[in-house]
Chain A
Amino acid sequence: MEAATVAPSDAVRAVRKAASPPEVVMHGLRPAPRGWLSWLTTTDHKRIGIMYLVLTFTFFLIGGVEALIIRLQLAGPDNTLVTPEAYNALVTMHGSTMIFLFFVPVIAGFANYLVPLMIGARDMAFPRLNAFSFWTLFFAGITFYASLFFHPPAAGWTSYTPLSDDAFSPDGGIDAWILMIHLTTVSSLAGAVNFIATIHNMRAPGMTWGRLPLFVWSILIYSYLLVLALPSLSAAATMLLTDRHFGTAFFDPAGGGSPLLWQHLFWFFGHPEVYIMILPMFGIVSEVLPVFARKPIFGYKAIAASTVAIAFLSILVWAHHMFTTPTAEVVLAFFMLSSFVIAVPTGIKIFNWLATLWRGSIEFKTPLIFAAALPGLFVIGGISGVMLAIFPIDWQVHDTYFVVAHFHYVLFGGGAFALIAGLYYWYPKMTGRLMSERLGKLSFWLMFIGFNATFLVQHSAGLSGMPRRIYDYAASSGWGEYNLISTIGSFILGIGVLVTVFNAVWSLKRGQVAGNDPWHANTLEWFVPSPPPENNFDQIPRVRSLEPMQDLRAQVRSTQGQPAGTVAQPVAPTR
């Protein structure tokens, strides 16, 4: 209808007959190298992205197995499945793996694959630095898990001093943790600089800031937050290292240091970290919902602006993790109010997503179902988050299972569901084949039921006094039922995740062939073949709106006279 108003795109000068398969034909390109060595030496952002995804999902499965062992140990009172030492190690490994080796780098995996494609670039700004980022992460994982062979760290993922100091953790596990922190930090910083340079400099002609896809917006902000937050963690980890081995006393009160200094430095990183993990998930949801609701995103500018606002505010709220420490009440009040403020832009995003679905024509494909779960589950974590920000309430529920439930609703209910939405959504682009819808929906319902069974009751366990990180509890505590439900739920959740893993492996060979643009999506990555050729674009189309693919489709329609539904994807020039 509106086709006549769209000027012909530069890239779509000549259009083939609708019968011939549309494709971008590559000219003068060497055939892509093959064999395992080509993967080790590649600097192609797509291959690096895939390696990132495979590696980080492996860590996700390892961290998941650790979580299931934790749940088995807690299934009943007075259980003796694992020793207290092993339990603390499991808690530490689970948390550190999920945060440092899964969540932050899995975003780098998606971003690596997608950012250049979405902005119409042929690679990242610094391809070799990109490979360096990946391999640093790889060795960080090896360093960390090598500690299994001597003594894994057991001071929690936060490694609070003095427990993590040499007096109380003399073995090398904490050192492995510190080195893992340093390596992942270097990896993430190099990646962040790369994303910033790419997004600032390599956008397609016409892709102004107001036409940047929301996922790319979120990656840009993710990168800036990494640059702002990670140095604090690196510094703290280095100080811990010198405290442990070179006689300094940054965190030792006997030598004039302060254990609270560690907490401040850690959470100055740690709270932005939460948004480092969740903002890109918001970005995925902001991409997926409009495609399957067949509507433009509601309030594009508000969503982009709220991403920036959340990132800025997230640097000002760190001490809300420290409400029970010896700190003056006026400081607590400041951090309560600053944490409140962050709820406003987060609420704006949720309302915008709801408004995007409203009056749409919603197609129930697996990516949509997973993406729509984010607002539904995140709102529970958001509300419990506001409760936790009220520091007198936090005094009761801090460091209990209430907090465990809260951050799993945020990071798993929000984060992991959106991540899997992204996996189902972009898998056809990466492999050329669609994942099975039937398995996808089965996986969703298993995960959704399992997730809520696992974590909803944990609120109650925490409210009735169960602290986190305890390996055991007495039968008289009354926490047995909550924990049994939680353990059963966690295994349903685990099966749900395995269904998706199986689906991803199975669909690699057996999945339905996807074509360029199976979802009739809006952004440029769907313009190129699936999987994309090494140089991505022969010709980079000029971007004229927030939904360049719709413009291209409209243009094909106007030149070919086809009705809207029959144009599968735009056709590239043949020269």
Chain B
Amino acid sequence: MQAKTRRRAIWAAACSVLAGLLLAAPGAFAGVITPEKGGSPNADDIHTLYVIVLIIAIPIFLLVEGVLIWSLIRYRRRKGGPQPAQIRGNTPLEISWTVGAALILVVLGVITFVYLDDIGNPPASLPGGFQGAQFATIDQPSPPRSGGPTLRVRVNGQQYLWRYEYPDLPGPNYSYYELVVPTKTTVVLEVTASDVIHSWWIPKLGGKVDATPGYVNKTWFRISKPGRYVGQCAELCGPNHADMRAVVRAVEPAEFEAWLRRHRIDILEAQQALAQQRQERARRGDVQ
């Protein structure tokens, strides 16, 4: 009796520790047992969806492993043990686990559709966002729920570099490798590629989209606090696929405007210098 009580106490303690870990774990272990989050609302929503699915999955996992291990131990062959039960099936039992499995999947489907809207559709920019952002709509994957101002960025993948351009802002304004964006502003990316397939992915800013030649794929993010967010190409694109990194640098909207102005001047100056050099060489008779 004493032993039984003690064993029960140990079980209860173990279960409560396990339950505590389960509740605390998803937040504490982002990137260990759950996806990255913290940069953009869509990444956070995917994280939440994942945690819900994980919490539904854990009892199923424990049930299967538990019954398996318990059966293997409890029903191992022993001298003088019971005869194996000659059971060929049990229709009510079989129907109930079929229906049970189906019901769990229905629940998962419903939960996914509940979250889908927030993950797929770009929301409006936050107050204090970049003023130059346009009232743009995107028709793919689906129209935005609210036509708030968004900043459009064209992203082009090429071996082994990303190129960015802001089509709605005064140009020339292209850049490579590092994408500079204003905070509190919804940024809609139009992702394509000019050679092979690449995949745009910054884990903290949400899911990845393939950059496919001949297609434009769309995604979005909205960053609240300034900082650097890193990622890398997620589709095999050649020998240096591993070196195709991407960085998103989020800055305050005012700083973004200043950066954009300076960047535009830099590009124009560089273009002028190039044109001058060309003229010079043409004058000297150098072959182009």
**Which residue numbers of A lie inside 8 Å of B, CB to CB?**
83-85, 88, 91, 154-156, 160, 162-163, 167-168, 253, 258-260, 293-302, 324-326, 328-329, 333, 336-337, 340-341, 343-344, 347-348, 350-352, 354-355, 357-364, 372, 375-376, 379-380, 383, 386-387, 390-400, 459-460, 463-465, 467-473, 478
Name the B residues within 8 Å of A351 (CB-CB): 94, 97
Name the A residues within 8 Å of B60 (CB-CB): 379, 383
CB of B31 within 8 A of CB of A88, answer: no
Give the shortest distance, in Å, between B243 (CB) and chain A (any CB).
Answer: 8
Across the A-B interface, the 5 shortest Cβ-Cβ residue pairs: A395-B207, A253-B214, A470-B242, A464-B31, A326-B217
Bits for B67-97, please: 1 = Cβ < 8 Å to A, else 0: 1110110011100011111111110011001
Name the B residues within 8 Å of A301 (CB-CB): 89
CB of A259 within 8 A of CB of B212, answer: yes
A359 to B81, CA, bound (A): 11
Once A357-B71, A376-B68 are accepted as A-B contacts, the answer to whether A399 and B119 lie under 8 Å apart by CB is no
Name the B residues within 8 Å of A167 (CB-CB): 195
CB of B84 within 8 A of CB of A460, answer: no
Give the shortest distance, in Å, between B37 (CB) and chain A (any CB).
Answer: 9
Name the B residues within 8 Å of A400 (CB-CB): 234
A499 to B218, CA, bound (A): 51
User: Could you tell me how many residues of chain B have their Cβ less than 8 Å away from some Cβ of chain A?
Assistant: 85
From B84, B201, B203, B241, contact of A294 by CB (8 A)? B84
Once A302-B94, A463-B33 are accepted as A-B contacts, the answer to whether A359 and B236 lie under 8 Å apart by CB is no
CB of B87 within 8 A of CB of A399, answer: no
Name the B residues within 8 Å of A355 (CB-CB): 87, 90, 93
Name the A residues within 8 Å of B89 (CB-CB): 298-302
A364 to B75, CA, bound (A): 11
Q: From B78, which residue of chain A is reached at the shortest CB distance?
A: A361
Give the shortest distance, in Å, between A365 (CB) and chain B (any CB).
Answer: 10
Name the B residues within 8 Å of A393 (CB-CB): 35, 46, 49-50, 53
CB of A392 within 8 A of CB of B49, answer: yes
A65 to B132, CA, bound (A): 56
Q: From A256, which residue of chain B is reached at the shortest CB distance?
A: B214
CB of A467 within 8 A of CB of B234, answer: yes
Q: From A86, which residue of chain B is reached at the shortest CB distance?
A: B239
A156 to B183, CA, bound (A): 38
From B64, B75, B93, B206, contact of A360 by CB (8 A)? B75
Q: Which one of A294, A296, A347, A400 has the greatest number of beta carbons of chain B within 10 Å?
A: A347
CB of A344 within 8 A of CB of B68, answer: no
Name the A residues within 8 Å of B235 (CB-CB): 160, 399
Give the shortest distance, in Å, between B44 (CB) and chain A (any CB).
Answer: 11
From B83, B218, B236, contact of A469 by CB (8 A)? B236
CB of A348 within 8 A of CB of B94, answer: yes
Known contacts A259-B213, A395-B208; can you find 16 more A-B pairs with CB under 8 A? A156-B236, A258-B214, A259-B197, A324-B209, A329-B142, A344-B101, A354-B68, A358-B75, A359-B87, A361-B75, A364-B76, A390-B112, A392-B112, A463-B34, A464-B203, A470-B232
Q: Does B36 contact A (CB under 8 A)?
A: yes
CB of A260 within 8 A of CB of B215, answer: yes
Q: Can you report 25 residue pairs joining A to B where beta carbons are below 8 Å apart?
A: A88-B239, A91-B236, A162-B197, A163-B196, A167-B195, A296-B86, A297-B88, A300-B89, A302-B89, A324-B208, A328-B141, A350-B64, A355-B93, A359-B87, A379-B61, A392-B207, A396-B43, A396-B208, A398-B208, A399-B234, A459-B33, A463-B35, A465-B231, A467-B201, A471-B241
Q: From A378, which residue of chain B is reached at the shortest CB distance?
A: B64
CB of A325 within 8 A of CB of B64, answer: no
CB of A363 within 8 A of CB of B77, answer: yes
Q: Does B269 contact A (CB under 8 A)?
A: no
CB of B32 within 8 A of CB of A359, answer: no
Name the B residues within 8 Å of A297 (CB-CB): 88
Q: Does B19 contact A (CB under 8 A)?
A: no
Q: Does B2 contact A (CB under 8 A)?
A: no
Which residues of B, 198-233, contact A by the 8 Å Cβ criterion? 199, 201, 203, 206-210, 212-218, 231-233
CB of B71 within 8 A of CB of A358, answer: yes
CB of A465 within 8 A of CB of B197, answer: no
A155 to B196, CA, bound (A): 11
CB of B32 within 8 A of CB of A463, answer: yes
Name the B residues within 8 Å of A463 (CB-CB): 31-36
A52 to B265, CA, bound (A): 68
CB of A362 within 8 A of CB of B36, answer: no
A539 to B68, CA, bound (A): 40
From B45, B88, B209, B239, contact of A85 by CB (8 A)? B239
Q: From B83, which residue of chain A is reached at the shortest CB distance?
A: A361
Give the shortest distance, in Å, between A520 (CB) and chain B (any CB).
Answer: 12
From B54, B65, B101, B113, contact of A347 by CB (8 A)? B101
A396 to B54, CA, bound (A): 15
CB of B105 within 8 A of CB of A295, answer: no
Q: Does B98 contact A (CB under 8 A)?
A: yes
Which residues of B, 136-178, contact A by the 8 Å Cβ criterion? 140-142
Once A392-B46, A470-B241 are accepted as A-B contacts, the answer to whether A325 and B217 lie under 8 Å apart by CB is yes
CB of B199 within 8 A of CB of A399, answer: yes
Once A325-B212, A344-B101, A364-B76 are accepted as A-B contacts, the answer to whether A396 and B32 lie under 8 Å apart by CB is no
Name the B residues within 8 Å of A363 (CB-CB): 77
Name the A residues within 8 Å of B82 (CB-CB): 359, 361
Which residues of B, 226-284, contact A by the 8 Å Cβ criterion? 231-243
From B33, B142, B201, B212, contact of A260 by CB (8 A)? B212
Name the B residues within 8 Å of A84 (CB-CB): 239-242
A294 to B201, CA, bound (A): 52
Give the shortest distance, in Å, between B28 (CB) and chain A (any CB).
Answer: 13
A300 to B82, CA, bound (A): 23
CB of B142 within 8 A of CB of A469, answer: no
CB of A360 within 8 A of CB of B108, answer: no
Q: From A375, which residue of chain B is reached at the shortest CB distance?
A: B68
CB of A467 within 8 A of CB of B210, answer: no
Name the A residues within 8 Å of B234 (CB-CB): 324, 398-400, 467
CB of B76 within 8 A of CB of A163, answer: no
Name the A residues within 8 Å of B32 (CB-CB): 460, 463-464
Q: Does B116 contact A (CB under 8 A)?
A: yes
CB of B68 within 8 A of CB of A357, answer: yes
Q: Does B12 contact A (CB under 8 A)?
A: no
Name the B residues within 8 Å of A298 (CB-CB): 87-90
CB of A325 within 8 A of CB of B77, answer: no
Q: Does B115 contact A (CB under 8 A)?
A: yes
From B53, B75, B115, B196, contact of A168 by CB (8 A)? B196
A183 to B214, CA, bound (A): 32
A357 to B84, CA, bound (A): 9
CB of B232 within 8 A of CB of A467, answer: yes
CB of B213 within 8 A of CB of A337, answer: no
A217 to B130, CA, bound (A): 63
CB of A390 within 8 A of CB of B71, answer: no
Once A84-B242, A471-B242 are accepted as A-B contacts, the answer to whether A336 and B112 lie under 8 Å apart by CB is yes
Name the A residues within 8 Å of B119 (CB-CB): 392, 395
Name the A residues within 8 Å of B195 (CB-CB): 162, 167-168
Q: Does B18 contact A (CB under 8 A)?
A: no
Give the shortest distance, in Å, between B208 (CB) and chain A (any CB).
Answer: 5
